[in-house]
Structure formats: C-alpha cells, structure tokens
C-alpha cells in the first residue's frame, strides 16, 4: 500500500515537473520583436513604402529600436513576460503617424502599416 502511494506521488511530481518545463515558467522570457514598418498598402494589399527612422517601443521598459532603410527593426528588451501576459508595442514616425498593438510573449514577427492606424497625431 505504501509503495503504491509512493509511486502515485512520484508520478504526480514528475507530471508537475513536465508541466512547468513545458510552460514559460514563472519568469517567462525576454521580449524580442522584429518586423517591418510600411507607409501604406497598394490596391492588392501588399505593403509599400518602407518607413525609415520609425521608433518602436514597448510598454514594458524604455528600450527602443529604429527602422533601417528597408523599414526593418529588431527590438530586444530585458523585460520578461510569460505566455499569458500582454504588453503594448508602439510605432512612431515623426509627429504624424502612430500605431499601437497589443502583443503577447509568443508574437515575435510583426508588420505595421501606418496608414491603417487608428491613432493619428
């Protein structure tokens, strides 16, 4: 009887270990997002007009990234989020165009089209 209970307890502990290992755990992972920023879309929906010098930031910390000549950016923060947490990513280009999007830890590749932005300044 005691051996059976010990086997059950060991199986439960092993199962819990696997569940924690499969999840992001309590610490989560650092935020890393990359993608492109475009001015608009053409009539077929393809993004056009890469935006050079757009600033990308998050609601998590002060780290930013700036788009290059092709509109590409790569933002890495020290902030950690787990799989069920959300944060806001903001794209700014001058004073005219802003774009915000709610993100989760699993959303790493993004494409922003500023003409679709509900947030205009």
Ranges of H-type helices in the chain: 2-22
pLDDT band per the 50, 70, 90 thresholds, residue 116: confident
pLDDT (tens digit, 9 = 90+) per residue, 8-53?
755 566 565 555 545 545 567 788 899 999 999 999 999 999 999 9
Contacts of 63 (CB under 8 A, 6+ apart): 57, 75, 76, 77, 78, 79
pLDDT band per the 50, 70, 90 thresholds, residue 80: confident
pLDDT at 104: 78
C-alpha to C-alpha distances, 13 to 6, 9, 19, 52, 121, nearest whole angstrom: 10, 6, 10, 52, 54
pLDDT at 121: 45
Q: Which domains does the chain have, with CATH numbers?
A: 29-116 (2.60.40.1120)
pLDDT at 17: 58
The torsion angle over the Cα atoms of residues 93, 94, 95 and 96, rounded to 10 degrees, is: -50
Percent of the chain past pLDDT 70, that is, above it, reads 74
Place of tokens 């932005």: 117
CA–CA distance, 91 with 93 (Å, rounded to integer): 7
Is the pLDDT at 119 greater than 60, yes or no?
no
List the single range of 5-9, 43-47, 74-78, 117-121 with lowest mean pLDDT: 117-121
pLDDT at 120: 45
pLDDT at 108: 81
């Amino acid at each position: 009887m005691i051996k059976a209970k010990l086997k059950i307890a060991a199986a439960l502990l092993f199962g819990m270990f696997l569940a924690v290992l499969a999840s992001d755990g309590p610490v989560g992972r650092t935020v890393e997002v990359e993608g492109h920023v475009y001015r608009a879309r053409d009539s077929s929906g393809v993004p056009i007009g890469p935006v050079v010098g757009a600033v990308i930031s998050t609601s998590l910390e002060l780290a930013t990234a700036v788009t290059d000549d092709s509109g590409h950016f790569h933002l890495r923060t020290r902030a950690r989020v787990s799989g069920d947490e959300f944060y806001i990513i903001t794209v700014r280009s001058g004073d005219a165009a802003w774009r915000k999007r709610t993100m989760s830890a699993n959303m790493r590749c993004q494409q922003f089209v500023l003409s679709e932005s509900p947030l205009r300044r």
